[in-house]
Amino acid sequence: MRGIDLISSLWSQIYPEADAQLLEGFIEELTQLNKPAKDADTSWYQDAVVYSLYVDLFNKDFDGLKEKLDYIKSLGVNTLWLLPILDSPMRDAGFDIRNYDLIRHELLGLPENHSKAEQEAVFGDFLKEAHSRGLRVIFDIALNHVSETHPWFQSAKESISSPFRDYFIWTQDISLYKDARIIFKGLEKSNWEPSGDAYFFHRFFNFQPDLNYRNPKVLLDMLRHFLYWQQLGVDGFRADAIPYLWKEEGTDCENLPQTHLIMKFYRAVLDRVRPGTLILAEACQKPNKVVEYLGDGDECHAAYHFPLMPMFYKAIASQQADPIINILDTAVTPKKPDNTQWFTFLRCHDELSLELVYVSEADRKYIHDNYCLQPEWDFREGEGISARLANLFQFDERKIGLAYSIMLTLPGTPVIYYGDEFGKENDQRYYEEMIHQTGKDDTRFLVRGKINWPLREAQLNDPSTFQYRVFHRIQKLLELRRKLGVFGQGSLEFIEPDAQDTQNPAVLAYIRKLGETRVLVVQNLSSKPQLARFESISATGINLLQDSVIALDEIILKPYAYHWIKID
């Protein structure tokens, strides 16, 4: 079942008692939209390398970002993920959206009352420039909640007779949904916020009221926003906070069946207009729950593998390969549909996330103890660490390179957070400025901050600097990854070095295979040199990072070293 029939079927499952004219009118709107050529690449996200950034922090606005497109392209990425760009009071870095069909005027370099036509000219030109360089563009949309300044909520709180009152969840009995956990532990004390003589429901900050998807108009109006940006040429969307869309009394209000039907509806509508428009699931859950958001290849196209990320850090701190091997075992990470993809990262952009929903208490404590090196880095009462990659690894370029080697060679689409490619450090001044501006001691502000491009360009042109060395390490890895073409979709086989007396737990090794291409990846997680033998695989191979023949009967690995070896 595809197209309109699928859309109608899903609608009837979500809203069996809804007015049929609502859907009929919406379908009529769909038939009027432009469609792309039929030969469009619909699986591009499976071989992408993503660079995520805040436009204003990266280089002021879209004109500034256009100036840096060649720099981004030179790094070796092919997809831009724009962290929140939509109109917002900016109390939560733009995840608190005030208008879904407007970009913040300062990012466009336009006055606050700019027109849609002006917006489309500036943003459309940016998209044209990005696409001309082979860069696709995706951005964030929060599906679960809006800013309290959103016109819908402003109307809703003014009167119970407002047509938007039922776009949100109201009660006078705050024992409702009592099993829904508080996500921002230490920052919020309740999921209910008083407003007038009632309370509204929120899963995140108290200035972000949750949308009420029991109201079918909410789903259709939200999709109209998606379609607007899709028509302008946006290649995909990071669907923020999707596990919480549907609320049901007596449950924890997470991962409910209706939520999956809603996401399938989003997918069916976007596919009807332009197949291959990415829906990336932001679902902070265990892999066996996250994979459900991929459906049978008919829900989200891709999803973050949240639990893999902390295991990178545990493996390096413990100098043991098992944390990574175990998390990717099919008993923990189920097989996904072939037309979908995991997205991987070295931090959830703003933090090393350690939510107990997908990390054990023992692992949370171990990682926190080893990497939360300053008290102000603590986030969510120990369930996160707000620190830049360079800070976490104490500016050890070997560990940074090793972490990237692991991420770039394991299955999935890797995400690079702006500035990490040259070892950007925590920004204390920006942190303090934002606390003053927002009134929230959100330690994630530490890992944001603006890029001082004159300073960085000087550093990147000086081979003696830490920034130069880190950048060229990462650039070389990305160049090889693109040329090999095996890491995005190839098979994965973990292997152990040939046994002598005992196995070496500090060596993380695996073979990636796609077609006739086989690459042996060998990585030393230890602070000490290690010896590894793989002569049972092949006598020799090509060490791609050094462009030389390497004998596999005795590989001497320096501390935190990594080799990518092409074998016959």
User: How does pLDDT run along the chain (568 residues), one tens digit per residue?
Assistant: 678 999 999 999 999 999 989 999 999 999 999 876 666 789 999 999 999 999 999 999 999 999 999 999 999 999 999 999 999 999 988 999 999 999 999 999 999 999 999 999 999 999 999 999 999 999 999 999 999 999 999 999 999 999 999 999 999 999 999 999 999 888 899 999 999 999 999 999 999 999 999 999 999 999 999 999 999 999 999 999 999 999 999 999 999 999 999 999 999 999 999 999 999 999 888 899 999 999 999 999 999 999 999 999 999 999 999 999 999 999 999 999 999 999 999 987 788 999 888 899 999 999 999 999 999 999 988 999 999 999 999 999 999 999 999 999 999 999 999 999 999 999 999 999 999 888 888 899 999 999 999 999 999 999 999 999 999 999 999 999 999 999 999 999 999 988 665 578 999 999 999 999 999 999 999 999 999 999 899 999 999 999 999 999 999 999 999 999 999 8
- Measured between alpha carbons, how far is residue 366 from residues 185, 318, 441 in Å? 19, 9, 24
Query: Would you call 355 a catalytic residue per the annotation?
Result: no
Q: For residue 439, what pLDDT is reported?
A: 85
Q: Of 521, 510, 424, nearest to 480 (Cα)? A: 521
Residue 296: inside a domain: yes
Burial of 324 (0-12, 13-18, 19+ CB in 10 A): buried
Query: By the 8 A CB rule, do 543 and 549 touch?
Result: yes
Do 478 and 437 belong to one domain?
A: yes
Q: Three-class SS of residue 109?
A: coil
Query: Would you call 240 a catalytic residue per the annotation?
Result: yes
How many angstroms separate the CA atoms of 142 and 93, rounded? Answer: 12
Burial of 404 (0-12, 13-18, 19+ CB in 10 A): buried
Compute and round to an integer the Cα radius of gyration of the chain.
24
Catalytic residue among 148, 240, 271, 421: 240
| Site of tokens 């902070």 | 284
Residue 129: inside a domain: no
Catalytic residue among 282, 292, 298, 383: 282
Do 282 and 302 belong to one domain?
A: yes
Dihedral sign from CA coordinates of 16, 17, 22, 28: positive
Q: What is the count of structural domains for the chain?
A: 2
Q: Of 396, 397, 403, nearest to 344 (Cα)? A: 403
pTM: 0.94
CATH of the domain at 542: 2.60.40.1180
Residue 61: inside a domain: yes
The phi, psi pair for 136, rounded to 5°, reads -85, 160
- Measured between alpha carbons, how far is residue 125 from residues 73, 118, 128, 232, 559 in Å? 17, 11, 5, 10, 47
In sequence order, what are the residues at sequence separation of 6 or more whose Cβ sits closer than 8 angstroms to the Cβ of residue 60? Answer: none
Residue 178: inside a domain: no
Residue 158: inside a domain: no
Query: By the 8 A CB rule, do 507 and 524 touch?
Result: yes
Do 415 and 497 belong to one domain?
A: no
The phi, psi pair for 352, rounded to 5°, reads -85, 100
In sequence order, what are the residues at sequence separation of 6 or more whose Cβ sits closer than 8 angstroms to the Cβ of residue 188? Answer: 182, 202, 204, 205, 206
Which H or E run includes 459?
helix 453-460
Do 501 and 471 belong to one domain?
A: no
Do 274 and 418 belong to one domain?
A: yes
Do 528 and 469 belong to one domain?
A: no
Q: Of the candidates 452, 484, 516, which is a domain's last residue? A: 484
Which domain, by its residues, includes 374? 46-112+139-144+216-484
Do 424 and 505 belong to one domain?
A: no
The DSSP secondary structure of 323-369, one letter per residue, reads HHHHHTSTTTSPPPPTT-EEEEESSBTTBEE--TTTS-HHHHHHHHH
How many angstroms separate the CA atoms of 554 and 532, rounded? Answer: 6
Q: How many residues does the chain have?
A: 568
Residue 172: inside a domain: no
CATH of the domain at 476: 3.20.20.80
- Hey, what amino acid is at 346? L
Q: Of the candidates 458, 484, 510, which is a domain's last residue? A: 484
Do 447 and 542 belong to one domain?
A: no
Q: Of the candidates 484, 504, 533, which is a domain's last residue? A: 484
Do 447 and 538 belong to one domain?
A: no
- Measured between alpha carbons, how far is residue 379 from residues 391, 401, 526 in Å? 15, 25, 28
Q: Of 262, 279, 261, nearest to 270 (Cα)? A: 279
Per-residue tokens: 192: 């209910």
Residue 204: inside a domain: no
CA 226 to chain centre: 18
Residue 149: inside a domain: no
Beta strand 302-304 with 278-281 is: parallel
| Site of tokens 């990717």 | 328
Q: Where are the beta strands (DSSP E) in 241-354?
A: 278-281, 302-304, 341-345, 352-353
Query: By the 8 A CB rule, do 321 and 506 touch?
Result: yes
Q: Three-class SS of residue 528?
A: coil
Do 390 and 533 belong to one domain?
A: no
- Measured between alpha carbons, how far is residue 82 from residues 18, 140, 154 in Å? 35, 7, 27
Do 537 and 472 belong to one domain?
A: no
Q: Of 490, 528, 506, nearest to 413 (Cα)? A: 490
Report H helices in 346-440. Answer: 361-371, 389-392, 397-409, 428-438
Do 331 and 398 belong to one domain?
A: yes
